[in-house]
Amino acid sequence: MIESAGRSVFDDELQMFREQVRKFFAAKLEPNIERWEREGVVDRQFWRECGEAGLLCPTMPEEYGGLGLDFRYNAVIDEELSYAGCSAGITLQSDITADYILAYGSEEQKREWIPKMVSGEAITAIAMTEPGTGSDLQAIRTTALRDGNHYVVNGSKTYITNGQNADLVIVVAKTDPKERARGVSLILVEADRDGFKRGRNLDKIGQHSADTSELFFEDVRVPVTNCLGEEGRGFAYLMNQLPQERLSIAICGQGTAQRAYDEAVKFTKEREAFGGKVFDFQNTRFTLATIATELQVGWAHIDWALARHVRGELTTAEASAAKLWHTELQNRVCDEALQLHGGAGYMNEYTIARLWRDSRVTRIFGGTNEIMKEVIGRSI
């Protein structure tokens, strides 16, 4: 269990909120995880239930249906969701797409979409990655070209979280193909537009309950009022939102690492070998002691980064460092915890197997960890 008592970044009100989140996940999430894993998608009903419980987009202002809270409340949801071992895409909506619309959207766009995102009526995605373009977003080929008072969107995207469920997609496209960064814009594309098609729900190594899709745009016409913010400013907007996105990934990585450790402690204290408990072997205790130490350091760093972010002080380099360190920790702890399970760890019936599978992608999405090192290096 994630312990927040004594963490300086949280208070009694947040602790009460955490208890509400835990009870909700215990009732609505945990009984359904295995089915979602098999089906490859989370029920829309769960999204609506999250909305009713106030667990979607809690930072959105009250005038748009939100709770007007700060990002610490998102962090509680992120921690508890990752600890539950679920890859539902609600964090993408709460931590990423909602803030794009709030920060750059017109008043009409905000009033049209944010209340629906808060309630779970609308599910959103952001389409950055293309079949031939990953971390280098300046090199995207999807275009949104002006034709009178419309954009005509053409191209394809891949690895898009919430792609099968999405009602609205923030599409990263070139409005000026001759330019790199200055030619990028963010275009809102509703899923019921002619020419928009969903491809496969992609078969991934892990995170099976997170629908991850190919998306295709063939002469999709949207009004110019669907441009999010200013035309040609899309790349700058993406860069501005990176600290929160990468902090969110770091928080989830830390939460998963904590769960993997807890699973290893529980298993080794119950499992017998050579006339004793696996926990009693020195190698086991030393391995767990090392992990416990790293988790202690990790939680202190998460709280430091979270406090800076709430104050508006977390830099892109600091958030990139958090994403790098905590996802590396997540993968290492999950691997060591699986090893302590022995053969049982390789069996899908054990939680550690899902945690291990789901963790591998965190060193890739949100910018690969190699890119994180490049970002950090440029700040030195």
| 306-360 pLDDT tens trace | 999 999 999 999 999 999 999 999 999 999 999 999 999 999 999 999 999 999 9
Check which CATH number belongs to the domain holding 41 and give it. Answer: 1.10.540.10
Identify the active-site residue in 37, 79, 231, 245.
Answer: 245
Q: How large is the average pLDDT for residues 191-199?
A: 98
Half-sphere exposure of 35 (CA within 13 A, CB side): 8
Residue 336 lies in a domain: yes
Say whether both 340 and 358 belong to one domain: yes
Give the pLDDT band (50/70/90) at residue 5. confident
| Structure tokens that stand for 163 in this block | 């792609």
Domain endpoint, select from 67, 97, 122: 122
Is the confidence at residue 261, as pLDDT, over 80? yes
Give the pLDDT band (50/70/90) at residue 137. confident
Say whether both 207 and 287 belong to one domain: no
Could you report the per-residue pLDDT of 31-49, keeping only the tens digit for each? 999 999 999 999 999 999 9
Is the confidence at residue 235, as pLDDT, over 90? yes
Active site residue 245: yes
- Dihedral sign (CA 58, 231, 169, 141): negative
* Total-model pTM: 0.96
pLDDT value of position 120: 98
Q: How large is the average pLDDT for residues 143-157?
A: 98
User: What is the extent of the structural domain holding 33?
Assistant: 12-122
- Could you give the number of structural domains in the chain? 3
Percent of the chain with pLDDT over 70: 100
Q: From CA 74, how far away is CA 121, in angstroms rounded?
A: 19
Domain endpoint, select from 89, 122, 155: 122
What separation in angstroms does the CA of 180 have from each of 123, 177, 283?
30, 7, 53
Instruction: Work out the mean pLDDT of the chain and round it to a whole number.
Output: 96
What percent helix, strand, coil does the chain show, rounded to 5? 55, 15, 30
Is the confidence at residue 1, as pLDDT, over 80? no
Percent of the chain with pLDDT over 90: 94
